[in-house]
Structure 1
Amino acid sequence: PTRPRVDTPAGRPAVDGRPGGIGPAADDDDSAADGIGVRDVWAAARARRRALRAEVRRFTVRQRRRRLLWGVSLAALLLLVLGTIGAAYSPLFAVDKVSVVGTSSLDAATVETALAGQLGTPLPLVDSSAVKAVLVAFPLVESYTLEARPPHELVVRIVERTPIGSIRSAAGYTLVDAAGVALSTTPDPASGHPVIVASGGVGSEAFRAIGTVFRSLPADIRAQVTDMTATTANDVTLTLGGTGTEVVWGNADDSAYKAVVLAKAMTARPPDGVSSYDVSSPNAVVMR
Protein backbone atom coordinates (compact mmCIF):
# COMPACT_ATOMS: atom_id res chain seq x y z
CA PRO A 1 0.00 0.00 0.00
CA THR A 2 1.23 3.56 -0.71
CA ARG A 3 1.88 6.06 2.02
CA PRO A 4 -0.50 8.99 2.15
CA ARG A 5 0.73 12.32 0.79
CA VAL A 6 1.07 14.94 3.47
CA ASP A 7 1.47 18.58 2.50
CA THR A 8 3.83 20.62 4.64
CA PRO A 9 3.41 24.27 5.49
CA ALA A 10 6.07 25.16 2.91
CA GLY A 11 4.22 23.23 0.29
CA ARG A 12 6.88 20.52 -0.02
CA PRO A 13 6.13 16.86 0.31
CA ALA A 14 7.26 15.20 3.55
CA VAL A 15 9.55 12.22 3.49
CA ASP A 16 8.97 9.47 6.01
CA GLY A 17 6.51 11.74 7.79
CA ARG A 18 9.12 14.40 8.66
CA PRO A 19 7.76 17.74 7.54
CA GLY A 20 9.82 20.67 6.31
CA GLY A 21 12.75 18.48 5.21
CA ILE A 22 13.94 18.08 8.82
CA GLY A 23 15.93 14.83 8.88
CA PRO A 24 18.98 13.46 7.22
CA ALA A 25 19.17 16.22 4.60
CA ALA A 26 19.42 18.89 7.27
CA ASP A 27 22.12 16.93 9.08
CA ASP A 28 24.21 16.80 5.87
CA ASP A 29 24.12 20.58 5.50
CA ASP A 30 25.32 21.04 9.11
CA SER A 31 28.21 18.66 8.54
CA ALA A 32 29.32 20.56 5.40
CA ALA A 33 29.15 23.82 7.31
CA ASP A 34 31.30 22.44 10.16
CA GLY A 35 33.82 20.51 7.95
CA ILE A 36 37.64 21.39 7.40
CA GLY A 37 38.71 22.35 3.90
CA VAL A 38 42.02 21.89 2.04
CA ARG A 39 43.03 25.51 2.68
CA ASP A 40 42.57 25.00 6.40
CA VAL A 41 44.86 21.97 6.30
CA TRP A 42 47.53 23.90 4.41
CA ALA A 43 47.28 26.84 6.79
CA ALA A 44 47.63 24.55 9.79
CA ALA A 45 50.65 22.86 8.25
CA ARG A 46 52.32 26.21 7.57
CA ALA A 47 51.63 27.37 11.10
CA ARG A 48 53.12 24.17 12.45
CA ARG A 49 56.27 24.57 10.32
CA ARG A 50 56.67 28.18 11.45
CA ALA A 51 56.36 27.11 15.05
CA LEU A 52 58.90 24.35 14.53
CA ARG A 53 61.39 26.73 12.92
CA ALA A 54 60.90 29.18 15.78
CA GLU A 55 61.66 26.43 18.29
CA VAL A 56 64.77 25.35 16.34
CA ARG A 57 66.02 28.95 16.23
CA ARG A 58 65.40 29.36 19.94
CA PHE A 59 67.37 26.24 20.85
CA THR A 60 70.27 26.95 18.42
CA VAL A 61 70.74 30.66 19.06
CA ARG A 62 73.95 30.09 21.11
CA GLN A 63 75.41 27.84 18.46
CA ARG A 64 74.69 30.38 15.75
CA ARG A 65 76.24 33.17 17.82
CA ARG A 66 79.34 31.02 18.41
CA ARG A 67 79.68 30.32 14.70
CA LEU A 68 79.31 33.99 13.91
CA LEU A 69 81.98 34.90 16.46
CA TRP A 70 84.40 32.33 15.02
CA GLY A 71 83.73 33.51 11.52
CA VAL A 72 84.37 37.15 12.39
CA SER A 73 87.57 36.23 14.29
CA LEU A 74 88.96 34.15 11.44
CA ALA A 75 88.15 36.85 8.92
CA ALA A 76 89.91 39.48 11.06
CA LEU A 77 92.95 37.23 11.47
CA LEU A 78 93.11 36.57 7.74
CA LEU A 79 92.92 40.27 6.99
CA LEU A 80 95.69 40.96 9.52
CA VAL A 81 97.99 38.30 8.01
CA LEU A 82 97.36 39.46 4.46
CA GLY A 83 97.89 43.07 5.46
CA THR A 84 101.16 42.27 7.24
CA ILE A 85 102.48 40.25 4.31
CA GLY A 86 101.47 42.92 1.85
CA ALA A 87 103.17 45.63 3.90
CA ALA A 88 106.35 43.55 4.39
CA TYR A 89 106.77 43.04 0.66
CA SER A 90 105.98 46.63 -0.18
CA PRO A 91 108.34 49.63 -0.42
CA LEU A 92 107.33 50.49 3.16
CA PHE A 93 109.98 47.96 4.31
CA ALA A 94 112.60 48.55 1.63
CA VAL A 95 116.28 48.51 2.60
CA ASP A 96 117.76 51.98 2.82
CA LYS A 97 120.72 51.15 5.09
CA VAL A 98 123.22 48.27 5.14
CA SER A 99 125.25 47.93 8.36
CA VAL A 100 128.29 45.65 8.60
CA VAL A 101 129.33 44.59 12.12
CA GLY A 102 131.96 42.26 13.56
CA THR A 103 134.91 43.40 11.48
CA SER A 104 138.36 44.25 12.79
CA SER A 105 140.79 43.79 9.91
CA LEU A 106 138.18 44.45 7.22
CA ASP A 107 136.98 47.96 6.48
CA ALA A 108 133.25 47.86 7.24
CA ALA A 109 132.53 50.86 5.00
CA THR A 110 134.09 49.08 2.03
CA VAL A 111 131.89 46.04 2.57
CA GLU A 112 128.78 48.22 2.96
CA THR A 113 129.55 49.95 -0.34
CA ALA A 114 129.92 46.58 -2.05
CA LEU A 115 126.47 45.55 -0.74
CA ALA A 116 124.76 48.71 -2.01
CA GLY A 117 122.95 46.63 -4.62
CA GLN A 118 120.48 45.53 -1.91
CA LEU A 119 119.27 49.09 -1.31
CA GLY A 120 115.63 49.53 -2.27
CA THR A 121 114.86 45.80 -1.94
CA PRO A 122 112.05 44.86 0.50
CA LEU A 123 113.61 43.16 3.53
CA PRO A 124 111.93 39.76 2.94
CA LEU A 125 113.21 39.77 -0.65
CA VAL A 126 116.89 40.37 0.12
CA ASP A 127 118.85 37.99 -2.11
CA SER A 128 121.16 35.98 0.17
CA SER A 129 122.95 34.45 -2.82
CA ALA A 130 123.76 37.94 -4.13
CA VAL A 131 125.10 38.91 -0.71
CA LYS A 132 127.24 35.76 -0.67
CA ALA A 133 128.61 36.55 -4.13
CA VAL A 134 129.74 39.96 -2.87
CA LEU A 135 131.31 38.68 0.35
CA VAL A 136 133.26 35.93 -1.42
CA ALA A 137 135.44 38.71 -2.80
CA PHE A 138 136.66 39.42 0.76
CA PRO A 139 138.95 36.51 1.81
CA LEU A 140 138.92 37.60 5.43
CA VAL A 141 135.22 36.76 5.72
CA GLU A 142 134.92 33.29 7.24
CA SER A 143 131.15 33.34 7.79
CA TYR A 144 128.29 35.80 8.00
CA THR A 145 124.63 36.11 8.97
CA LEU A 146 121.93 38.47 7.75
CA GLU A 147 119.60 40.25 10.15
CA ALA A 148 116.61 42.35 9.14
CA ARG A 149 115.84 45.32 11.35
CA PRO A 150 112.49 46.73 10.23
CA PRO A 151 111.60 49.02 8.79
CA HIS A 152 114.69 49.77 6.64
CA GLU A 153 117.96 48.32 7.97
CA LEU A 154 119.84 45.20 6.85
CA VAL A 155 122.56 44.09 9.26
CA VAL A 156 125.39 41.84 8.04
CA ARG A 157 127.25 40.15 10.92
CA ILE A 158 130.69 39.00 9.83
CA VAL A 159 133.06 36.53 11.46
CA GLU A 160 136.57 37.17 10.20
CA ARG A 161 139.22 34.57 9.60
CA THR A 162 142.06 34.64 12.12
CA PRO A 163 145.48 34.84 10.43
CA ILE A 164 148.12 32.60 11.99
CA GLY A 165 151.13 33.62 9.92
CA SER A 166 152.76 34.14 6.55
CA ILE A 167 154.09 31.47 4.23
CA ARG A 168 156.78 32.39 1.76
CA SER A 169 155.82 31.94 -1.88
CA ALA A 170 157.05 33.00 -5.31
CA ALA A 171 154.93 36.16 -5.07
CA GLY A 172 156.23 37.11 -1.63
CA TYR A 173 154.61 36.24 1.69
CA THR A 174 151.02 35.00 1.82
CA LEU A 175 149.08 35.52 5.03
CA VAL A 176 146.97 32.44 5.82
CA ASP A 177 144.52 31.28 8.47
CA ALA A 178 144.50 27.90 10.24
CA ALA A 179 142.62 26.34 7.32
CA GLY A 180 145.30 27.49 4.87
CA VAL A 181 143.06 30.08 3.20
CA ALA A 182 145.13 32.85 1.62
CA LEU A 183 144.10 36.22 3.01
CA SER A 184 146.62 38.54 1.40
CA THR A 185 150.02 38.52 -0.30
CA THR A 186 152.71 41.10 0.33
CA PRO A 187 156.41 41.41 -0.61
CA ASP A 188 157.40 41.23 3.07
CA PRO A 189 155.97 39.22 5.98
CA ALA A 190 152.82 40.76 7.44
CA SER A 191 153.59 42.80 10.54
CA GLY A 192 152.53 41.20 13.80
CA HIS A 193 152.31 37.67 12.37
CA PRO A 194 154.94 34.90 12.50
CA VAL A 195 156.54 33.29 9.49
CA ILE A 196 155.49 29.67 8.95
CA VAL A 197 157.69 26.95 7.50
CA ALA A 198 155.75 23.70 7.13
CA SER A 199 156.94 20.74 5.07
CA GLY A 200 154.27 19.88 2.54
CA GLY A 201 152.63 23.32 2.52
CA VAL A 202 149.21 24.32 3.81
CA GLY A 203 147.67 20.93 3.04
CA SER A 204 150.10 18.96 5.20
CA GLU A 205 149.74 17.46 8.66
CA ALA A 206 152.67 19.64 9.76
CA PHE A 207 150.76 22.81 8.85
CA ARG A 208 147.58 21.65 10.62
CA ALA A 209 149.60 20.94 13.76
CA ILE A 210 151.11 24.44 13.63
CA GLY A 211 147.63 25.94 13.32
CA THR A 212 146.36 24.01 16.33
CA VAL A 213 149.34 25.02 18.46
CA PHE A 214 149.11 28.70 17.52
CA ARG A 215 145.41 28.93 18.37
CA SER A 216 146.02 27.37 21.80
CA LEU A 217 148.57 30.03 22.83
CA PRO A 218 147.56 32.85 25.19
CA ALA A 219 147.44 36.23 23.49
CA ASP A 220 150.52 37.57 25.30
CA ILE A 221 152.68 34.60 24.24
CA ARG A 222 151.20 34.56 20.73
CA ALA A 223 152.34 38.17 20.27
CA GLN A 224 155.96 37.13 20.98
CA VAL A 225 156.10 34.32 18.41
CA THR A 226 157.99 35.29 15.26
CA ASP A 227 158.55 31.88 13.62
CA MET A 228 156.80 28.50 13.58
CA THR A 229 158.30 25.45 11.93
CA ALA A 230 157.44 21.77 11.55
CA THR A 231 158.60 19.00 9.28
CA THR A 232 156.00 16.56 10.60
CA ALA A 233 153.01 16.76 12.90
CA ASN A 234 155.25 15.74 15.83
CA ASP A 235 158.00 18.35 15.83
CA VAL A 236 156.39 21.77 16.03
CA THR A 237 158.85 24.43 17.18
CA LEU A 238 158.20 28.08 17.99
CA THR A 239 160.65 30.98 18.13
CA LEU A 240 160.13 33.93 20.46
CA GLY A 241 161.30 37.18 18.90
CA GLY A 242 163.65 39.52 20.65
CA THR A 243 165.48 36.81 22.59
CA GLY A 244 165.45 34.10 19.92
CA THR A 245 164.26 31.60 22.53
CA GLU A 246 162.92 28.34 21.10
CA VAL A 247 159.85 26.48 22.34
CA VAL A 248 159.93 22.78 21.57
CA TRP A 249 156.28 21.81 21.41
CA GLY A 250 156.25 18.38 19.83
CA ASN A 251 152.84 17.31 18.52
CA ALA A 252 149.57 19.18 18.89
CA ASP A 253 148.18 16.82 21.55
CA ASP A 254 147.28 18.47 24.85
CA SER A 255 148.07 21.87 23.37
CA ALA A 256 145.85 23.73 25.84
CA TYR A 257 147.64 22.08 28.78
CA LYS A 258 151.06 22.73 27.23
CA ALA A 259 150.15 26.41 26.81
CA VAL A 260 149.39 26.69 30.54
CA VAL A 261 152.64 24.94 31.45
CA LEU A 262 154.62 27.21 29.10
CA ALA A 263 153.06 30.35 30.60
CA LYS A 264 154.06 29.24 34.11
CA ALA A 265 157.59 28.39 32.98
CA MET A 266 158.02 31.78 31.29
CA THR A 267 156.82 33.50 34.45
CA ALA A 268 159.26 31.52 36.60
CA ARG A 269 162.16 32.04 34.18
CA PRO A 270 161.64 34.83 31.60
CA PRO A 271 162.80 34.20 28.00
CA ASP A 272 165.71 36.63 28.23
CA GLY A 273 167.50 34.15 30.51
CA VAL A 274 166.44 30.95 28.72
CA SER A 275 167.54 29.59 25.35
CA SER A 276 164.75 27.02 25.06
CA TYR A 277 161.61 25.68 26.71
CA ASP A 278 160.73 22.05 26.01
CA VAL A 279 157.06 21.35 26.75
CA SER A 280 156.74 18.30 24.51
CA SER A 281 156.29 16.33 27.78
CA PRO A 282 154.25 18.90 29.75
CA ASN A 283 154.63 17.03 33.03
CA ALA A 284 158.43 17.32 32.80
CA VAL A 285 159.31 20.75 31.37
CA VAL A 286 162.94 21.23 30.39
CA MET A 287 164.46 24.74 30.34
CA ARG A 288 167.96 25.49 29.11
Structure 2
Amino acid sequence: MKHLFSLSALMAGFSALPAMAQDALRIDGLEVIGAPVDGLMGFQPAVTRLAQDIHDLDYLILVIITIITLFVTGLMAWVILRFNAKRNPTPASFTHHTPVEIAWTVGPILILVLIGAFSLPILFRQQEIPQADITIKAIGNQWYWSYEYVDDGFGFDSYMIGAPATLTSEEEAAGAVPNMLNDVMITKLEEAGYSRAEWLLATDTAVVVPVGKTVVMQVTGSDVIHSWTIPAFGVKQDAVPGRLAELWFSAEKEGTYFGQCSELCGQAHAYMPITVKVVSEAAYADWISKAKEEYAGIPSTIQIASN
Protein backbone atom coordinates (compact mmCIF):
# COMPACT_ATOMS: atom_id res chain seq x y z
CA MET A 1 0.00 0.00 0.00
CA LYS A 2 2.91 2.37 0.70
CA HIS A 3 4.13 1.84 -2.87
CA LEU A 4 0.61 2.52 -4.10
CA PHE A 5 0.49 5.78 -2.16
CA SER A 6 3.92 6.79 -3.45
CA LEU A 7 2.90 6.12 -7.05
CA SER A 8 -0.31 8.06 -6.71
CA ALA A 9 1.52 10.92 -5.00
CA LEU A 10 3.43 11.43 -8.20
CA MET A 11 0.06 11.88 -9.87
CA ALA A 12 -1.32 14.26 -7.80
CA GLY A 13 -11.68 38.07 25.98
CA PHE A 14 -8.04 39.39 26.45
CA SER A 15 -6.35 42.36 24.81
CA ALA A 16 -3.59 42.15 22.26
CA LEU A 17 -0.07 42.18 23.68
CA PRO A 18 2.02 45.35 23.53
CA ALA A 19 5.29 45.26 21.64
CA MET A 20 7.46 44.68 24.72
CA ALA A 21 5.38 41.68 25.75
CA GLN A 22 5.79 40.22 22.27
CA ASP A 23 9.56 40.55 22.53
CA ALA A 24 9.52 38.68 25.84
CA LEU A 25 7.40 35.82 24.50
CA ARG A 26 8.83 35.50 20.99
CA ILE A 27 10.29 32.16 19.92
CA ASP A 28 12.86 32.64 17.18
CA GLY A 29 14.63 30.17 14.93
CA LEU A 30 11.61 28.03 14.01
CA GLU A 31 11.34 26.77 10.45
CA VAL A 32 8.20 27.82 8.59
CA ILE A 33 6.69 24.50 7.48
CA GLY A 34 2.92 24.80 7.26
CA ALA A 35 2.47 27.65 4.80
CA PRO A 36 1.14 27.90 1.24
CA VAL A 37 3.79 28.23 -1.46
CA ASP A 38 3.19 30.07 -4.74
CA GLY A 39 3.24 27.83 -7.79
CA LEU A 40 3.07 24.52 -5.95
CA MET A 41 0.24 22.00 -5.92
CA GLY A 42 -0.86 19.40 -3.42
CA PHE A 43 -0.98 19.27 0.35
CA GLN A 44 1.23 20.99 2.86
CA PRO A 45 3.70 18.63 4.57
CA ALA A 46 1.93 16.30 6.99
CA VAL A 47 3.31 16.61 10.53
CA THR A 48 0.62 14.65 12.35
CA ARG A 49 -0.76 11.14 12.00
CA LEU A 50 -4.14 12.66 11.16
CA ALA A 51 -2.74 14.65 8.25
CA GLN A 52 -0.79 11.68 6.91
CA ASP A 53 -3.95 9.57 7.04
CA ILE A 54 -5.75 12.17 4.94
CA HIS A 55 -2.91 12.27 2.41
CA ASP A 56 -2.84 8.48 2.13
CA LEU A 57 -6.60 8.27 1.64
CA ASP A 58 -6.47 11.00 -0.99
CA TYR A 59 -3.73 9.16 -2.89
CA LEU A 60 -5.68 5.89 -2.72
CA ILE A 61 -8.82 7.51 -4.11
CA LEU A 62 -6.73 9.25 -6.79
CA VAL A 63 -5.45 5.85 -7.96
CA ILE A 64 -8.98 4.41 -7.98
CA ILE A 65 -10.55 7.26 -9.96
CA THR A 66 -7.60 7.30 -12.38
CA ILE A 67 -8.06 3.59 -13.10
CA ILE A 68 -11.82 4.09 -13.54
CA THR A 69 -11.29 7.07 -15.85
CA LEU A 70 -8.78 5.20 -18.02
CA PHE A 71 -11.05 2.12 -18.16
CA VAL A 72 -14.15 4.11 -19.15
CA THR A 73 -12.21 6.18 -21.70
CA GLY A 74 -10.72 3.03 -23.23
CA LEU A 75 -14.12 1.34 -23.29
CA MET A 76 -15.70 4.33 -25.03
CA ALA A 77 -12.90 4.43 -27.60
CA TRP A 78 -13.31 0.69 -28.29
CA VAL A 79 -17.08 1.04 -28.71
CA ILE A 80 -16.68 4.03 -31.04
CA LEU A 81 -14.13 2.25 -33.23
CA ARG A 82 -15.62 -1.25 -33.12
CA PHE A 83 -19.33 -0.49 -33.39
CA ASN A 84 -19.58 2.60 -35.59
CA ALA A 85 -22.00 2.48 -38.55
CA LYS A 86 -19.26 1.82 -41.10
CA ARG A 87 -17.84 -1.25 -39.32
CA ASN A 88 -21.14 -2.48 -37.90
CA PRO A 89 -23.91 -1.66 -40.42
CA THR A 90 -26.37 -4.08 -38.82
CA PRO A 91 -26.55 -3.27 -35.10
CA ALA A 92 -27.62 -5.85 -32.52
CA SER A 93 -31.12 -5.52 -31.07
CA PHE A 94 -30.74 -7.15 -27.64
CA THR A 95 -31.80 -5.19 -24.53
CA HIS A 96 -30.19 -7.12 -21.66
CA HIS A 97 -26.81 -8.65 -20.88
CA THR A 98 -26.85 -10.29 -17.46
CA PRO A 99 -23.07 -10.68 -16.93
CA VAL A 100 -22.47 -7.02 -17.76
CA GLU A 101 -25.29 -5.88 -15.47
CA ILE A 102 -23.88 -7.98 -12.61
CA ALA A 103 -20.40 -6.59 -13.24
CA TRP A 104 -21.46 -2.92 -13.16
CA THR A 105 -23.41 -3.56 -9.96
CA VAL A 106 -20.83 -5.63 -8.07
CA GLY A 107 -17.83 -3.60 -9.24
CA PRO A 108 -18.90 -0.25 -7.72
CA ILE A 109 -19.95 -2.03 -4.52
CA LEU A 110 -16.47 -3.52 -4.13
CA ILE A 111 -14.86 -0.13 -4.84
CA LEU A 112 -17.02 1.58 -2.20
CA VAL A 113 -16.25 -1.15 0.32
CA LEU A 114 -12.53 -0.66 -0.33
CA ILE A 115 -12.79 3.10 0.16
CA GLY A 116 -14.89 2.62 3.29
CA ALA A 117 -12.42 0.14 4.74
CA PHE A 118 -9.70 2.79 4.62
CA SER A 119 -11.74 5.94 5.30
CA LEU A 120 -13.82 4.87 8.30
CA PRO A 121 -10.83 4.10 10.59
CA ILE A 122 -9.37 7.50 9.66
CA LEU A 123 -12.66 9.21 10.46
CA PHE A 124 -12.91 7.44 13.82
CA ARG A 125 -9.30 8.38 14.65
CA GLN A 126 -10.17 12.04 14.03
CA GLN A 127 -13.40 12.00 16.01
CA GLU A 128 -12.31 9.96 19.02
CA ILE A 129 -10.65 12.58 21.22
CA PRO A 130 -7.76 11.10 23.28
CA GLN A 131 -6.64 12.11 26.75
CA ALA A 132 -5.11 15.57 26.44
CA ASP A 133 -1.64 16.59 27.55
CA ILE A 134 -2.64 20.20 26.87
CA THR A 135 -6.13 21.66 26.48
CA ILE A 136 -6.62 24.96 24.66
CA LYS A 137 -9.90 26.72 24.01
CA ALA A 138 -10.13 28.61 20.70
CA ILE A 139 -12.86 31.24 20.40
CA GLY A 140 -13.64 32.76 17.00
CA ASN A 141 -14.49 36.45 16.94
CA GLN A 142 -15.01 38.97 14.17
CA TRP A 143 -12.14 39.02 13.14
CA TYR A 144 -9.57 37.49 15.43
CA TRP A 145 -9.09 34.43 17.64
CA SER A 146 -9.02 34.26 21.41
CA TYR A 147 -7.17 31.42 23.13
CA GLU A 148 -7.43 30.11 26.66
CA TYR A 149 -4.88 27.66 28.07
CA VAL A 150 -7.44 25.84 30.18
CA ASP A 151 -5.04 23.99 32.47
CA ASP A 152 -2.77 26.98 33.07
CA GLY A 153 -5.29 29.71 33.75
CA PHE A 154 -4.41 32.33 31.15
CA GLY A 155 -5.49 33.45 27.71
CA PHE A 156 -4.85 36.02 24.99
CA ASP A 157 -6.22 37.44 21.75
CA SER A 158 -4.50 36.76 18.44
CA TYR A 159 -4.78 39.29 15.60
CA MET A 160 -3.27 39.26 12.15
CA ILE A 161 -0.18 41.45 12.04
CA GLY A 162 -1.49 44.53 10.24
CA ALA A 163 -5.01 44.38 11.66
CA PRO A 164 -6.25 47.70 13.07
CA ALA A 165 -5.93 46.49 16.66
CA THR A 166 -2.19 45.81 16.21
CA LEU A 167 -1.18 49.25 14.94
CA THR A 168 0.24 51.92 17.21
CA SER A 169 -0.27 55.63 16.70
CA GLU A 170 3.42 55.94 15.77
CA GLU A 171 3.05 53.31 13.05
CA GLU A 172 -0.04 54.99 11.67
CA ALA A 173 1.78 58.32 11.64
CA ALA A 174 4.62 56.62 9.73
CA GLY A 175 2.17 55.50 7.03
CA ALA A 176 0.84 52.16 8.21
CA VAL A 177 -2.60 51.36 6.80
CA PRO A 178 -4.69 48.51 8.29
CA ASN A 179 -4.58 45.30 6.23
CA MET A 180 -2.28 46.85 3.62
CA LEU A 181 1.31 45.82 2.94
CA ASN A 182 3.83 48.65 2.78
CA ASP A 183 7.31 49.36 4.13
CA VAL A 184 6.01 50.08 7.64
CA MET A 185 4.13 46.76 7.69
CA ILE A 186 7.15 44.84 6.40
CA THR A 187 9.19 46.29 9.24
CA LYS A 188 6.44 45.29 11.68
CA LEU A 189 6.50 41.73 10.35
CA GLU A 190 10.29 41.52 10.66
CA GLU A 191 10.22 42.87 14.20
CA ALA A 192 7.80 40.06 15.09
CA GLY A 193 10.17 37.46 13.63
CA TYR A 194 8.46 36.97 10.26
CA SER A 195 9.19 37.96 6.68
CA ARG A 196 7.22 39.54 3.87
CA ALA A 197 6.27 36.02 2.73
CA GLU A 198 4.19 35.57 5.90
CA TRP A 199 2.01 38.63 5.23
CA LEU A 200 -1.68 37.77 5.80
CA LEU A 201 -0.55 34.60 7.63
CA ALA A 202 1.35 35.79 10.71
CA THR A 203 -0.37 36.86 13.92
CA ASP A 204 0.86 39.12 16.69
CA THR A 205 0.47 36.29 19.21
CA ALA A 206 0.85 32.62 18.31
CA VAL A 207 -0.47 29.45 19.88
CA VAL A 208 2.55 27.61 21.31
CA VAL A 209 2.53 23.84 21.88
CA PRO A 210 5.25 21.27 22.59
CA VAL A 211 6.30 18.75 19.98
CA GLY A 212 4.97 15.21 20.37
CA LYS A 213 2.27 16.07 22.92
CA THR A 214 -1.47 15.49 22.49
CA VAL A 215 -3.22 18.85 22.19
CA VAL A 216 -7.01 19.05 22.41
CA MET A 217 -8.57 22.22 21.01
CA GLN A 218 -12.01 23.19 22.27
CA VAL A 219 -13.53 25.33 19.52
CA THR A 220 -16.45 27.75 19.72
CA GLY A 221 -17.55 31.13 18.40
CA SER A 222 -18.63 34.33 20.11
CA ASP A 223 -20.68 35.95 17.32
CA VAL A 224 -21.00 34.09 14.00
CA ILE A 225 -19.69 30.76 12.70
CA HIS A 226 -15.93 30.63 12.18
CA SER A 227 -13.67 27.62 11.49
CA TRP A 228 -10.31 26.73 13.06
CA THR A 229 -7.93 24.85 10.79
CA ILE A 230 -4.26 24.03 10.34
CA PRO A 231 -3.75 22.14 7.04
CA ALA A 232 -0.39 20.62 8.04
CA PHE A 233 -2.08 19.08 11.11
CA GLY A 234 -5.03 17.72 9.13
CA VAL A 235 -7.59 19.40 11.43
CA LYS A 236 -10.58 21.65 10.81
CA GLN A 237 -13.49 22.40 13.12
CA ASP A 238 -16.33 24.91 12.82
CA ALA A 239 -16.58 27.39 15.69
CA VAL A 240 -20.32 27.65 16.29
CA PRO A 241 -21.70 30.11 18.87
CA GLY A 242 -23.31 28.27 21.76
CA ARG A 243 -21.58 24.97 20.97
CA LEU A 244 -18.27 23.57 22.16
CA ALA A 245 -16.61 21.23 19.67
CA GLU A 246 -13.25 19.48 19.93
CA LEU A 247 -10.38 18.46 17.72
CA TRP A 248 -6.97 17.05 18.54
CA PHE A 249 -3.49 16.78 17.10
CA SER A 250 0.03 15.77 18.03
CA ALA A 251 2.63 17.56 15.93
CA GLU A 252 5.74 15.51 15.17
CA LYS A 253 8.03 18.30 13.99
CA GLU A 254 9.02 21.67 15.44
CA GLY A 255 8.17 24.65 13.29
CA THR A 256 5.76 27.45 12.53
CA TYR A 257 2.40 26.53 10.99
CA PHE A 258 -0.34 28.69 9.55
CA GLY A 259 -4.06 28.35 9.00
CA GLN A 260 -7.01 30.58 8.21
CA CYS A 261 -10.57 30.95 9.38
CA SER A 262 -12.30 28.64 6.91
CA GLU A 263 -15.93 29.69 7.30
CA LEU A 264 -17.14 32.91 5.69
CA CYS A 265 -17.67 35.17 8.69
CA GLY A 266 -18.03 38.70 7.41
CA GLN A 267 -16.24 41.67 5.90
CA ALA A 268 -12.75 40.93 7.31
CA HIS A 269 -12.90 37.14 6.98
CA ALA A 270 -9.76 37.17 4.82
CA TYR A 271 -7.78 38.81 7.64
CA MET A 272 -8.27 36.17 10.33
CA PRO A 273 -5.23 33.87 10.20
CA ILE A 274 -4.06 31.28 12.71
CA THR A 275 -0.44 30.81 13.80
CA VAL A 276 0.78 27.78 15.74
CA LYS A 277 4.38 27.32 16.86
CA VAL A 278 5.50 23.80 17.74
CA VAL A 279 8.55 23.90 20.00
CA SER A 280 10.66 21.62 22.18
CA GLU A 281 9.43 20.72 25.65
CA ALA A 282 12.13 22.89 27.21
CA ALA A 283 11.17 25.89 25.07
CA TYR A 284 7.51 25.32 25.85
CA ALA A 285 8.16 25.19 29.61
CA ASP A 286 10.05 28.47 29.35
CA TRP A 287 7.31 30.07 27.24
CA ILE A 288 4.49 28.87 29.50
CA SER A 289 6.24 30.32 32.55
CA LYS A 290 6.60 33.72 30.90
CA ALA A 291 3.06 33.56 29.49
CA LYS A 292 1.54 32.93 32.91
CA GLU A 293 3.34 35.95 34.28
CA GLU A 294 2.46 38.15 31.29
CA TYR A 295 -1.18 37.20 30.85
CA ALA A 296 -2.28 36.08 34.31
CA GLY A 297 0.12 37.93 36.59
CA ILE A 298 1.51 34.71 38.07
CA PRO A 299 5.21 35.31 38.85
CA SER A 300 7.63 32.73 37.51
CA THR A 301 9.18 32.30 40.97
CA ILE A 302 5.84 31.15 42.36
CA GLN A 303 5.50 28.65 39.51
CA ILE A 304 8.96 27.24 40.19
CA ALA A 305 8.29 26.98 43.92
CA SER A 306 4.98 25.19 43.37
CA ASN A 307 6.67 22.60 41.20
Q: TM-score range by the shorter chain?
A: under 0.3
Provide TM-score, normalisation by structure 2.
0.19
**Higher Cα radius of gyration:** 1
Of the two structures, which has the highest relative contact order with CA contacts closer than 8 Å and spacing of 6 or more?
A: 2
